[in-house]
Amino acid sequence: MMNFTVLLEQDFASNNFTAYVPELRLSSVGDTEEEAMDCVKELIALELEKGRYKIYSSKVVSVTVDSIQVRTAV
């Protein structure tokens, strides 16, 4: 099991949420916070299944983050 940082942003202009994973440089958008998180979890799993992913260093200066765990078959 791997842990990733997820930055969740609410976009009031577009009336949606964006979830960004800096370590994998992946992002997803959803109409709700839950939808954005579900989509980004699915993207992480798909990226890890490919087996050719790169973990990038991330430096978050000041933001509230949620860490998630993704179970992989790898």
Does the pLDDT of residue 2 top 90, yes or no?
Answer: no
Cβ neighbourhood burial of 6 (10 Å; 0-12, 13-18, 19+):
buried
Does the pLDDT of residue 7 top 80, yes or no?
Answer: yes
Query: What pLDDT score was predicted for residue 34?
Result: 95
The pLDDT tens digits of the residues spanning 11-26 come to 999 999 999 998 899 9
User: Which domains are assigned to the chain?
Assistant: 2-70 (3.30.160.250)
Does the pLDDT of residue 61 top 70, yes or no?
Answer: no
